[in-house]
Amino acid sequence: MMIRTRITEMLGIAHPIVQGGMQWVGTAELASAVSNAGGLGILTALTQPTPDDLRREIERCRAMTDKPFGVNLTILPSINPPPYADYRRAIIDMGIKVVETAGYKPQEHVDELKAHGITVIHKCTAVRHALSAERMGVDAISIDGFECAGHPGEDDIPGLILIPAAADKVKVPMLASGGFGDGRGLVAALALGAEGINMGTRFCATQEAPIHPNFKAAMVANDERATDLMFRSYRNTARVARNAVSQEAIRIEREGQPFEAVAHLVKGARGREGLISGDVDHGVWSAGMVQGLINDVPTCRELIERIVADAEAIIAGRLAGFLG
């Protein structure tokens, strides 16, 4: 038995499991391992310092897998934005066939990518944003519930409601994102109207994820309560693993101080230093509530094969057994 959906057909993958684009983590090591295991691995464009570095990373990933993989391009409102058009050009020039977009006003990127025959998956946290992206012409939506790591939006709608609410209105295929890490989640996502799952945190706790083993051990040890929501008062909510730095940032924020007062604590470079050194309290790092479902650090192949086998067993066994 194989789980076939519009997502597996569209992306040319064996299993309806996609690795989310993650800053500092979405490198060739992880993306190629996910793709080789039958999912869709994704490189994170802005993890690479320059568009030429992205070109080299795409070449490196191609040397490690002959399977499809994609690139994430996240558009963030910024005073000094990165050269998005140059990163986009690198993606196009290198013949990438799938791009995950996320963030702020992606229209020009969607138009240009689509003009070059690229399949675009847009990640969003609200039904209204999904419908807007659909009107822009994206091929698929990754709908991201409140449980997710990173930016869950400001509506606080969990996947159990958000996924079917979006499925009722969105016509293009959907990936369910936020809180997924096992076969039960995949079956639930399919039942709720999605056609696959997008996993971030769960793929961080794999052998191939390019982060220090201390972080993987922390995700295994942590339970579903071990996250913090920062930046709520700045209307830019971020879910991170709870640690000394996130707690301090929240304390300062609750005093009513502006973002500038916490910026030194939460800057990306500081978080990256921690991921390399192994100090889980050095900076903030993204992790979702799914930590409560992470009990080991398998290879990507072991993880994907387990998820698919468990999902198939649930569909053919437990669920079928309920039908009298």
pLDDT digits 0-9 by tens, 76-121: 877 789 999 999 999 999 999 999 999 988 999 999 999 999 999 9
- pLDDT at 77 (0 to 100): 76
Is the pLDDT at 29 greater than 90, yes or no?
yes
> pLDDT category, 44, cuts 50, 70, 90?
very high
Does the domain at 7-211+295-321 match CATH 3.20.20.70? Answer given as yes
Predicted confidence at residue 110, as pLDDT, reads 97
Over 80: is that where the pLDDT of 1 sits? no
pTM for the structure as a whole: 0.97
Q: What number of other Cβ atoms are within 10 A of residue 248's Cβ?
A: 15
Q: Tell whether the model's pLDDT for residue 164 goes beyond 80.
A: yes
**Ordered alpha helix ranges (H), the chain:** 6-11, 28-36, 51-64, 84-93, 107-115, 127-136, 159-167, 183-192, 201-204, 213-221, 244-254, 263-266, 268-277, 300-313, 320-321
Extract the tokens encoding 224. Answer: 């579903």
Mean pLDDT of 312-320: 96
Domain with CATH 3.20.20.70 in the chain: 7-211+295-321
Tens-digit pLDDT profile for residues 264-279: 999 989 999 999 999 9
Please name the residues in contact with 66: beta carbons below 8 A apart, sequence gap of 6 or more. none
Rounded to whole angstroms, the Cα distance separating 215 from 222 reads 10
Averaged confidence pLDDT in the chain:
97
Please compute, for residue 212, the number of CA atoms within 13 A of its CA located in the half-sphere on the CB side: 16
Cα(106)–Cα(122) distance, rounded to whole angstroms? Answer: 9
For 209-261, give the DSSP string: SSS-HHHHHHHHH--TT-EEEE-TTTT--EEEE--HHHHHHHHHHHTT--GGG
Query: Token pair for residue 298?
Result: 């398998």
* Contact residues for 252 (Cβ-Cβ < 8 A; gap 6+): 261, 262, 265
